[in-house]
Amino acid sequence: MVSEQKKEFEDCTPCRILGASAFIGLGVFSYVSGHSQLTQQQAAILKSNSIFGMRSRRNGITGLASVFLGLGLYRLMA
């Protein structure tokens, strides 16, 4: 029964490639765009005395991009 359900919901190869490339592209875009914007806004962020400094913001962007990349790889392999 489990194999029947798995076969029923299995995607075709082009669907998996398209879905994976969308997530991977989103991850790369998030990383590049986010770090670029942080660099541009660094002076304003440091001046604001926020509890979230540059390190935590960089880690947040990197973590989000890593999640998207992981989802893309999962979509491709699973």
Q: What is the dihedral of CA 57, 24, 78, 14, to 10 degrees?
A: 160
Q: What is the DSSP letter of 48?
A: T
pTM: 0.81
Count, residues in the chain: 78
pLDDT digits (tens), the chain, 78 positions: 666 666 667 788 899 999 999 999 999 999 999 999 999 999 998 899 889 989 999 999 999 999 999 999 999 998
- Domain map (residue ranges) of the chain: 14-77
Non-local CB neighbours of 26 within 8 Å, separated by 6+ positions:
68, 72
